[in-house]
Structures are given as C-alpha cells and as structure tokens.
Structure 1
Amino acid sequence: MGGALPEKLIPALAGRNVRCILFDLGDTLWSRKDMAVWERVENAANVRAVAILRKCITSPSLPNVNEVTLGKRLRESVDERLRNFIRQEPGLEPHGGLAIVQVLQQWGIEGVDTGIGGAIFEALRVRIPESRPLFDDVHPTLGALRQRGFQLGVVSNRHWGGKLFQEDLQMLGLLDYFDPRHMAISVDLGVRKPDPAIFLHALNALNVPPEHAVMVGDSLLSDIVGGKMLDIFTVWKPKPSVRTQAQLIASGVASIGHQALTPAESASGNLPDDLPPGMHITDDDYVLAHVQSRAGKWDQHLHDQVKPDMIIENLSDLLDVFIEVGEQ
C-alpha cells in the first residue's frame, strides 16, 4: 500500500466468500499523463467529425471558424449535453447521435436525423491505445488474480463501445483477462452505473451472486454506491487529484475547508472554484467528497452510501488482500 492513503478498511471482508472481481475501465486501469498526445488525437477525431458535418450539412448556421476550432466547440457542446442528461437520468446511457442532433438544433440547424448524428458522434471517438497508456501494474495484477483462481469481469460506463472498443481492449492485451461475455458496457446495454442492472448483467454472465463479488473502480457514485446496492464488496481507487478527499471519506472528518454544499447544489454544478483541471461536475469523486450538511458535518446516510469497504492507491494493492478464492 502507498503511504498517502488511509489503511484498508477490511472488516467488511471478514468471512466473505469472494469468487469474482469486477473492474471499472477508464482511469481505474489507464491514465492520460501525456496531455500533448491526448490533445493531438482528440483534435484529429474532432476534425473527422467536422468533415462529416460539413459533408452532410450545408447550413450557413455553422460557426464560421476553422476545422480545429469548430471540432473543439462541437465536442465541448456534446460533452455538456451528455453530462446534462446523466445528471437528470443517472442510470441511463445517453444517445450520442441524439446529443449531436440537439447540439445542432442549439446552433440553429434543423432537420438532422439521428443517423447522421450517430455518424458524427462515432467520428468523435478517441481510440484508447493511442491516447491512454495502462498503468504499469495492470497486466501483472490481472494475471496474478486470474492465476489465483478469481473470475474477472468488467462493469464500465462508456459513451463509445461495440466492436471498436473490444478491438482497443485486444490491442491493450486486456482481453487476455476479460472475456467479452463477462463485460457490461453502458453504451451497449443502455443502462449506467450505479443502476444495479448493469452489475447484474456481468454477474449473471459469470454465474456469481453479488455477495461473492468485488467491485474495483474510481467513482464513488458509480462504483461504490452502485456496488453497495447489491452488497458487493467495494474497492475505491481514487484519481490522484482526489486522494486528499479519499482520506476524508475514509476517516469521516467533517470539513476540509470548503464551503458546505447540499446534494442539490452539487448536482446543479455550483462547485468550489478549485475544481481540478479536466474534471466535470459529474465526476462525483470530487463532488461527493464536498457534500456536507449546513451544520458542517457529513450526512450519515450519504456517508454510509459512499464510504468504500477498501481504498487502494495502486491496482497491485489488491494482491495483498485477495490471496485465494473463497472465504476471506
């Protein structure tokens, strides 16, 4: 274990029969350390989307800017549309093609169907192998867990999935550990974490009851709250930018020097000014870490819901705890 985080909260594991470990993808397994590379591949995808947009739409309402600027504006507008939908319907996966149509309507462009919208949205896909390297301990950890006899699965919220996503995972070597039949991806199912249905999709395929499973992820609201709904043992691997908040959640300390926010205020986007770069208002690790009552103390019900059973800094920390399949 790294010294920056609290000790593992193991009591909830005692006597539990563990047969299966589910993983979130995204920041749980890979990083975006090289922002120059990320910007380059994202801009390339943006320009591809603009090419389809200009081919299909000749409206003078399109902003009169260059391709890179228009592509960036399109992506930002679509991202905001998707986040708005998720805030209103957190258990449902938004339709990317419809989000494109709605953005174009905001720009004064009517008559675009979701088929064209879907093609433009697909062009915005950023392929994972060229943009997000795996953490160094991912392959050794997954390999060791499988060798120890644990069944492995995936439960992940993603806007782009399907065959290309599986190709990305194959290129990263992750399909050596995860059978696609044991993967529950939100865009492919239409349902998102924390809805129990997406967890059950993977668990039913694995033939494992929830109480015999572990969920490892970086999102309190999606992975921890969702897992606890089904009595899954939950492991939080917080993003580096929220490790201070991880200490707060583990210890139950009431205040970290920020103005108190109610859940409604957090959902509306009224967040502190120090929101870490690259975080959106649906990145609940930060939001929930700041949700306090007006008295300056944690709402106990909310605290119990979001408090993980265990906190890790590195994926390999799992190997110190899950030694063998069965009763722990």
Structure 2
Amino acid sequence: MNVTERPRAILFDLDDTLWPIAPVIAEAETTLHAWLATHAPKVAQAFSIEELRARRMALLAAEPHYHLDLGKLRRAALEAAFAHAGEDLAHIDGAMQHFFAARNAVKPYDDVLPGLLHLADRLTLGAVTNGNADLEVIGIAHHFKVALAASHFGKAKPDPAIFLAACDALGVAPRHAVYVGDDLRLDVEGAQKAGLRAVWMNRTGSNAHVELGIAPDAICSSFEELIAWLEQQLSD
C-alpha cells in the first residue's frame, strides 16, 4: 500500500456498532408507555406499545422522509395518537423528553471504550449516524472530533454526501478514511461508494455479505480485530 493511502481517520456508526440498540429501544418504549399511563392516560389506554409501534411504522411507510429524523417520526406518531385519543397535546414534550432520556441510556460493548482510547492515539475519530443518539448525554462525545447525524445534515446513509461531509470536516480525503458499521447496505456499501474503505462490524458471525454480494474491506467481530486490521494498514 502506498504511504499516502494509509488511514488518517476512522468514522463510526453508532447504534449496533458501539452498543446494542434493540434492548435499549424496547426498554425506552416500555418506560414511555408507563409514563403515558400516568401523564397521558387516554393514549396509554387506547394503544399498546405494539400498536404505537405499528402506527409509527405505518407513518414511516407513508412518509419516507422521516427516515432522515427518527425523532421527528416518533413525535409525529405520538401527536397523531394523542389527537386520536383526545389527549392533551401539551404532554407531548414531556413524553419525548422521557423517551430520549431512556433511549440514550446505552451500554457500549465492553471493547468499545478501551478501543476508542487506543485508536485516538493513532487516528482522528468521527461518527456518522442515521439515528438520534446524543453523544453528549451518553458521555462519549469527547472521543470524536466530528459527529454527523442525518437529522441535522439533511441526508442519510447510504447517501455519499454524508460520508463526504464527515471526511471534509475531519480534513481528510475519503481514501484516507475508514468507516466502521454493522449495516452492509447503509454502512459498508454506502461508505465504499463515497470512496472510503469500509469495515463490517459483524459481532454475530453472519454471512449476509455473501448473500448480498457486498465485499467489505475487512470483517471484524470485535474492536480487537478492528485494531489489528488497522495496525496492518498503518504499517504497510
């Protein structure tokens, strides 16, 4: 590898790459429904957690632009549920605040924080996400020089624009950046089409890349494997 192609920056997806998100969302929706039962009982009585989720997914299917901002999607779905149940819309803000507090109660995989500290000694770190995790609330914002969210940027992965904007913000050419994520289409294919190298963080041992015909630059099951691969790229 030519020395000019050595990685200078590494960008990360967040949900399901740095922490598991499904149990967090499930718990957040459970606590939200309990909050609604106290503060907006008409909504809690009219809709179960599953029904609220189904209504939200139906709204997303009808209005795909909400993919850019899942927080706005959740708020719009709640507003519709409140209106249907005849509940006071004044409680929407409290409901969203309660949900986001629970949604950001993530627990990084055990290898993530040591891994970020190790990588920060060699590379500039950034994040690109389609989700609504708040790195300040989570307490890890200081690890990243740049963090781009689709909801603020206006375009979502796999659009090349969000990857290119992150590289520009970090001051590196795409060929000098590596993107790490768990989603083959959004993260791996999206980053590669933008000119970055892409690592598939595959903690489950899936062979989905074969079925989809996507070839990551590396497949890692842990931060230890990611660091080993990056050390090789840096030494070549």
Q: TM-score range by the shorter chain?
A: 0.7 to 0.9
Which residue matches 2:77?
Answer: 99
Displacement of 1:314 after TM fit?
0.6
1:311 to 214, 219, 232: 219
Deviations 1:27-61 (A, max 9, x none): 1111369x5x875554222333455545xxx7xxx
Distance 2:170 2:220 in 1: 25
Moved over 6 A (4+): 108-112
Indicate how the Cα distance of structure 1 residues 316 and 74 shifts in structure 2: closer, same or farther if over 3 A, else same. same
Residue 43 of structure 1 corresponds to 30
Q: Is residue 82–residue 88 contact of structure 2 (8 Å, CA) maintained in 1?
A: no
Aligned position for 2:231:
323
Give the CA deviation at 1:218.
0.3
Aligned partners of 1:314, 1:52: CA distance in 2, in Å? 42
Q: How much has 1:136 moved relative to structure 2?
A: 1.4
SS at match of 2:100: coil
CA 1:99–1:231 in 2, change beyond 3 Å: closer, same or farther? same
Structure 2, gaps ≥5 residues long: none
Unaligned stretches of 5+ in structure 1? Answer: 1-13, 253-288, 292-302
Per-residue CA deviation, residues 124-144 of structure 1 (Å, 9 max, x unaligned), is: 3253564x3211111221111
CA contact (8 A) 1:42 1:126 kept: no
Distance across 2 between alignment mates of 1:137 and 1:145: 12
Distance 1:146 1:45, change over 3 A: same
Aligned to 1:190: 154
Q: Give aligned-pair identity as a percent.
A: 25
Q: Residue deviations 1:93-115, cap 9 Å, x none? A: 3532333344557x576996xx8
Q: 1:72 aligns with which of 34, 49, 72?
A: 49
* CA offsets 1:235-260 (integer angstroms, 9 cap, x no match): 001252xx2324xx2xx4xxxxxxxx
Cα distance 1:91–1:178, how it changes in 2: closer, same or farther (>3 A)? same
Shift of 1:168: 2.6
Contact 1:196–1:229 (CA under 8 A) maintained in structure 2? yes
Aligned to 1:205: 169
What is the alpha-carbon distance in structure 1 between the residues aligned to residue 159 and residue 93 of structure 2? 25
The residue aligned with 2:188 is 224
Q: Partners of 2:121 and 2:59 in 1: how far apart? A: 39
What is the rounded CA distance, in whole Å, between the counterparts of 2:66 and 2:203 in structure 1?
Answer: 21
Length-normalised TM-score, structure 2? 0.78
**2:60–2:66 Cα contact (<8 Å) kept:** no
The question of whether the paired residues in 2 share the 8 Å contact of 1:92 and 1:190 is answered with yes
Q: Return the match for 2:125 from 152, 163, 177.
A: 152
Deviations 1:8-41 (A, max 9, x none): xxxxxx43331000001111111369x5x87555
Q: AA paired with 2:53?
A: E
**Separation in 2, partners of 1:119, 1:189:** 26
Which amino acid is 1:178 matched to? Answer: F
TM-score scaled by structure 1?
Answer: 0.59
For the pair shown, which has the larger CA radius of gyration, 1 or 2? 1
Please give the alpha-carbon distance, in whole angstroms, between the structure 2 residues aligned to 1:176 and 1:325.
Answer: 25
Question: Across the two proteins, how many residue pairs are aligned to each other?
Answer: 232
Counterpart CA distance in 2 for 1:140 and 1:134 is 11
Q: 1:76 to 1:239 in 2, by over 3 A?
A: farther
**Structure 1 counterpart of 2:188, which letter?**
I
Give the distance between the partners of 1:42 and 1:108, measured in 2 at CA.
18
8 Å contact 1:49–1:123 — kept in the other structure?
Answer: no
CA contact (8 A) 1:46 1:72 kept: yes
